Structure 1
Amino acid sequence: MTQYLEFEKPLAEIEGKAEELRAMARANPEADVEKEAGQLDQKAKDLLNQLYGNLTPWRKCQVARHPERPHAQDYINALFTEYTPLAGDRNFADDHAVMGGIARLDGRPVMVIGHEKGKDTKSRIERNFGMARPEGYRKAIRLMDLADRFGLPVITLVDTPGAYPGKGAEERGQSEAIARSTQKCLDLNVPLISVIVGEGGSGGAVAFATANRVAMLDHSIYSVISPEGCASILWKDAGKAGEAAEALRLTAQNLYELGVCDRIIPEPTGGAHRDQATTIANVRKALLAMLAEFDGKTADQNRADRRAKYLKLGSKGLAA
């Protein structure tokens, strides 16, 4: 059963009525409800197009956080073959908020690393809602080192509210681990391709997404702070998150204009959660296209490309 967002309540009512009619027909095969149900389906489709035709930044935040969006595990299962998970940071523990390993994308060996939020209460607690601790970033560094050693392109799937801010994480060097992971992204000799598949929150996302190419799903977000956190700091009122989302310019469209995002990957109408198969197919197409840009390039060229990308940030959109 689809979970509806707050702004989708009128849609939920229409689709619910259509389903009630069809349930009635299943219980009483003589009932002729298909015509009326079909009209409701069309009405729901029109409303869905209207709702998603011009989403505000705050509504995009809600869609990006939808619990039924495909997560790293879904992409890995659908896109990659011969996936061999690699665990642990060889120092403290294995952080289940970060998953990764060697795999093949369309037959090509790669290293894939991603945040995983989980799908139900148990798995979300196990995955810490996608908020990595220092050992998660150190695991990512270890996997990137391994990829560099064997000449494997690195693909990162970013979906995190941010790094975990707990006491234990801070005691084990959270900020240092994030900084070193970001540095490792910059120092890689192999291409690094990153896709923001949901939330790209703060340094926890930057540590995976300081890449040669950064792609964002149409309704994903990428920001230095959450809208709620920004509103709490600026106005002492988390209820002004909508205003903060506007000011932060955190949507894929905003960031493409600013040069932070290199490619926007389309989502089906209604968001990735309504048609996961199409979304994942679109991500696959984008990944292959971005990887192809680096075929035949040397280590020096890969690093120079990354350096040039980040040195020119801030040169677009300043007048706005």
Structure 2
Amino acid sequence: MSIDSHVYVPFETKEDKFTKIYSQLTREEILELSSFQLLSIYLTFEKQRGDNSFWKPFLDMLPSMSDFEFMPIHWSDDLRKLAPTSTQKTNQKVCQRFESDYQIITQLIQSKTDENVEDLLPKQDVLLAWICINSRCLYMNLPTSKNTADNFTMAPYVDFMNHSCDDHCTLKIDGKGFQVSTTSVYNVDDQIFLSYGPHCNDFLLCEYGFIIPDNKWNDLDISEYITPLFTQEQTDFLKSYDYYDNYTTTKDDVSFRTQVALATLQEKDPQNSRKLSALINGYNDGEVFEKHSNVLLSTILKKIIHECEARQHLEFSDDPIKKIIGVLYHDRLVIAKNVLLKTIQDGDDDDDDDGL
């Protein structure tokens, strides 16, 4: 076959069983892989090639699995069940993404060799490579790309920056590459911080393996308490407007999705409700639903507060994972209490208005 159909290596490399597999991969097969899948194969193979790999210095500076030990993807089933449902849901999505990628790449590589693919692509080694990619890649827009999720690169210098909720640095991405700059003054041995984005602790833990105390981007997912209350008509209505599931609140604001869900629960025939249609289309602010919505929300929040208080002791556990789970419940408790207080105050104001 012509060289155009295969992987082209732009540097001198030593031949081994892995380069033989590379030589059998066609351009079409490579293009069918996502960037995550392709890099997971490459990092896993190159790590095993040791000194034969051009990328050994880069691979040697990547973290080990112990650096990600707190990610729920490693937890036992008992610990996962102990975590908040929102954490379980986020972790499940991460697990499904990895399992799908692993199945695809093992099937492809097995078709290129007689060796046992589990020896070539050990699951734990692939998982480490996959997590390293997930926690270290930088995304950029490419005008010719069909899938923006695949537009990323791994930039080693970014590994020297830790995450902060606040932007201490700015990241400039253009045709020249990636540039990090800051207006802050740093002293020798100071850490440099870069914001990974407005992510709550559930996301940070499941995707990267850490949480942040008093994370200002934390929210409270109350979907599990709302969705079972819907009738079939209400469910169908919300799905038709893409407002089904993902109901959250921060300590300051109840999301609009949640407001729509609480309003929908008050309509037996939501499809023909002018009030509900006006709310969704922005013709009114939903004040007509607010009183009953506050009652529903208060009931849900009190239940969440009770559940969180029952697990509050975990925050003081000697087991580091249980301690993390306890912090997650503490986060939920803070938000629930804040929103409940605001809801009660709003309800009192409504009563005063009624009296007037």
Q: TM-score, normalised by structure 1?
A: 0.23
More strand by share: 1
Q: TM-score, normalised by structure 2?
A: 0.21
Comparing both chains, which one has the higher relative contact order based on Cα–Cα distances under 8 Å and sequence gaps of 6 or more?
Answer: 1
